[in-house]
Structure 1
Amino acid sequence: MRIFSRLPGVPRLRPQFATTLSPPPESIIPADVLVDEEVTPGYNWQVFYPAHPGELLDNRYELKTKVGWGSSSTVWLAEDISLKRRRTPRKYTVLKINTCDNTGSKDSNHELEIVKRIDASNPEHRGRAILCMANEVFSVQSPTGSSHVCLAFEPMRDPLWLLRNRVCGEQVTRDWLPIFKIYIQILIEGLDYLHSECKLVHTDLKLDNILMTFENQSVLEAFVQAQKSHRMAQKVVNGRVIYRCHNNFGDITDQSSLKKMYPKITDFGLAQLADRSGQLLHPIQPDHCHAPEVLLGTSWSYPADIWNFGIMVWDLLAGRELFQGDVSTTKLYSPAQHLAEMIAILGPVPDALVRREREMRHWQWSPPIYNAQGKLCSNTSEYFGGPFFTESGKFVQEELIPYSRTLADEVPECIPEQDRDKFLAFMRRMLCWLPEERPTAKELKDDPWFAVRL
């Protein structure tokens, strides 16, 4: 991997700036409409790199189109033009261009630390190929002189949920279940590598972070060529162009191509080292994926990923979220309601977990962080609005528990009757209250559900 030949003294090369052509009128976005990274809380346009199509970074990467964004980065598809003279097929890469502020620097440094850990781990494990991680790093300077760290990745196609929507609709259908079971097995292999060999907890497993490989190079080539006639919509703010990302690679026209595609786990920006000393207590995971030990502050590790994986599998197959599925822009996430739904689905909270919550209720983390309500918090109870249990161990908001809900009544429609019991057993292994009772990713690989022939 070239990434480590460029550290720690990352060169800061001034890019060649492209001339921006006047866009057609229909691609102009009104100035008052927020675009991509602008919706990020505390957004500051001055810390983002002002990238443009046609721009050359690191003397080799020609930017083609913006394909993504985050709170501290934008993501661009680029062509490696250094290979043009070798008469080889065009090579594309994805560049994550980080912001120049402390947040961007901290995020990129942390991600590099994680990539180093992965790169130094067992190269023979089959799961290594299931992780999509940075393969190069360099730094560029903006026209104003600010420095931005760039991470280079293999280009990936659709997130797994979009592939599902392309071939099945909004939920997996019975005829497509066999191939999606294979995808789940592949992802477990990658998760096992992350846990057993790299000693990392991903902490952010969700369908958006599971991306599919391309079926063949021609799909990527066609997408790049299409950008010439379908340029990105854009707006100008403070003299800077902000582009709306374009990442629709089109339908899968040949279903046999699916045999050439497989999923990869991506985005290790929030991954944590599980083998360091001390308790892991700070909040992790998407809201509806919070494991019980995360909500209750009893410390988390690899089993939190296993819980998260179970939730993700359910979301994939059912096309709906198992917990907090009614959260929207008008109804905010409720940790208490989430726990109430867990009680309905899983049964009463074990006394052992209630005792752990009480014993660790006052453990502090540093520095304090803001919760969704803007409150500065230094422990889990403050962050999620607890405590959730009385001194006698009773859940404080029993009126929220939807007792009519059961896991068996909500099995995804794609699961056939002969597969039902083993599927439920598979899910219950992952979705159980006590983290020590969940299987490891290695143990999940041999689950009886995968042996069921459909």
Structure 2
Amino acid sequence: MESERPPSPQRQPPTSGFEVLDDAYLLEEKTFSWYSPDDFYPVQIGELFRSKYQVLGKLGFGSVSTAWLCRDLVLIRGHEYVTLKVFVSGHRQAENEEKVYHHLSTIKTDHPGAKGIRSLRDSFQLPGKRGLHECLIHDALGLTLADIREMSEGGKVNTYLLKPFTKYLLMSLDFLHSEARVVHTDIQEGNIMLAINDDTIFKTFEQEEMDEPSLRKVDGDRIIYASRALEIPDDAPNAGPLRLRRRAVRS
């Protein structure tokens, strides 16, 4: 059990200094042709969940969820920064992911690949207009392999970085297949992430959101934020083992 303490003070996000998109423009999840505001939970920067997770900024979005960088205000040790993943209401993927995470947490193993699998720190539900939104809390991680490739010269990942990625990936998959009996169903560069040895990039992310608040769009009674990119850490080749995001089914 991780130790907790009285909450740290919450940061108050800026109330001005940001650009608001005109109604004619679509932003992030609203670009989906099937988008409905009632499906996505209206997370707001600065919002506090479970009296401990304060939202600092938006990390990304997908067809069934949005991802946010948060700070754990009560944790004494460990990762102060966490990632909050909020699913659209009533989607089965959330339930499936949580079941797999809990299954993996019960496995006692010395397999080196187990350390390359992203763990689940916490989970909870938020009420929405169309039902409950499942929420997962993970340790905050760095860039994906796709991010690094896109930022690299010529759009190619250097061999010196790709080799350790491949090594950790194969070890992680071996653990999933041979011991956990779990099949990963979406192995691609966007689901392979760097672990971070220090939280400088998260502190930078947090401060940049305070200094230059994210572009946003007002959509009725909610705000849609633009995602903010993480920086490539200076020690990227040695930034620590990768972590493998999962979209998995039990076998």
TM-score scaled to structure 2, two decimals? 0.86
Letter in 1 for 2:100: I
* Higher RCO, 1 vs 2 (CA within 8 Å, ≥6 residues apart): 2
Structure 1 CA distance for aligned equivalents of residues 199 and 170 of structure 2: 27
Q: Which has the higher helix share?
A: 1
Gaps of 5+ in 1: 3-17, 275-454
Q: Provide closer, same or farther for how the CA distance between residues 206 and 90 of structure 1 changes in structure 2, counting only shifts above 3 A.
A: closer
Corresponding residue number in structure 2 for 1:119 = 105
Deviation at 1:76, TM superposition (A): 0.9
Q: Which has the higher strand share?
A: 2
Q: Provide closer, same or farther for how the CA distance between residues 168 and 181 of structure 1 changes in structure 2, counting only shifts above 3 A.
A: farther
Deviation at 1:54, TM superposition (A): 0.9
Corresponding residue number in structure 1 for 2:17 = 24
Corresponding residue number in structure 2 for 1:272 = 249
Deviation at 1:146, TM superposition (A): 4.9
8 A contact 1:122–1:197 mirrored in 2: no
Match of 2:120 among 134, 149, 171: 134
Structural RMSD (CA): 2.6
Deviation at 1:228, TM superposition (A): 0.3
Structure 2 CA distance for aligned equivalents of residues 147 and 161 of structure 1: 31
Gaps of 5+ in 2: 3-10
Q: Is residue 220 of structure 2 the alignment partner of residue 244 of structure 1? A: no
Corresponding residue number in structure 2 for 1:98 = 87
User: Counterparts of 1:51-450 in structure 2 under 5 Å?
Assistant: 51-83=43-75, 91-100=80-89, 102-103=90-91, 106-141=92-127, 146-166=131-151, 168-172=153-157, 176-246=158-228, 248-252=229-233, 254=234, 256=235, 258-266=237-245, 268-269=246-247, 271-274=248-251
Pairs aligned (count): 243
TM-score scaled to structure 1, two decimals? 0.49
Structure 2 CA distance for aligned equivalents of residues 114 and 74 of structure 1: 20
8 A contact 1:215–1:258 mirrored in 2: no
Structure 2 residue matching 1:182: 3-state secondary structure? helix
Instruction: Name the % identity.
Output: 24
Larger radius of gyration: 1
Letter in 1 for 2:29: E
